[in-house]
Amino acid sequence: MAKPQELTEGQRAYEARRAAKAGMSLDKWLAEKEKRARAEAADAAKAVEAEKPAAPKGWFGRLLDKAHKPLK
């Protein structure tokens, strides 16, 4: 797991205000924020994986398709 990015003083104050608004400590807020980011990245990766086109059929698959077609 990568080391979390160090926040500047302004970023830390901003995140502290957001954590206070949510009723959490700063550490808990940052951990929850990182967890949400990882979940969103995983969902995005699944969406990209689902959009991949199917692999073309091989020789035997094409042969079976021809065998199942009705004769003319």
1 located within any domain: no
pLDDT digits (tens, 9 = 90+) for 29-70: 999 999 999 999 999 988 888 777 777 889 999 999 999 998
Q: Which residue has the tokens 């689902």?
A: 50
Instruction: Classify residue 48: in a domain, yes or no.
Output: yes
How many structural domains compose the chain? 1
Domain carrying residue 40: 9-68
Does any domain span residue 39? Answer: yes
Q: How confident is the model at residue 2 (pLDDT cuts 50, 70, 90)?
A: very low
Number of Cβ within a 10 Å radius of residue 7: 14
Per-residue exposure over 39-55, b if at least 16 CB sit within 10 Å of its own CB, e if not: eeeeeeeeeeeeeeeee
- Evaluate whether residue 13 is within a structural domain: yes
| 50 domain-assigned | yes
> Does any domain span residue 38?
yes
Would you say residue 28 lies in a domain?
yes
Q: Which sign does the torsion angle of CA 45, 4, 9, 19 carry?
A: positive
Q: Cβ distance 15 to 7 under 8 Å?
A: yes
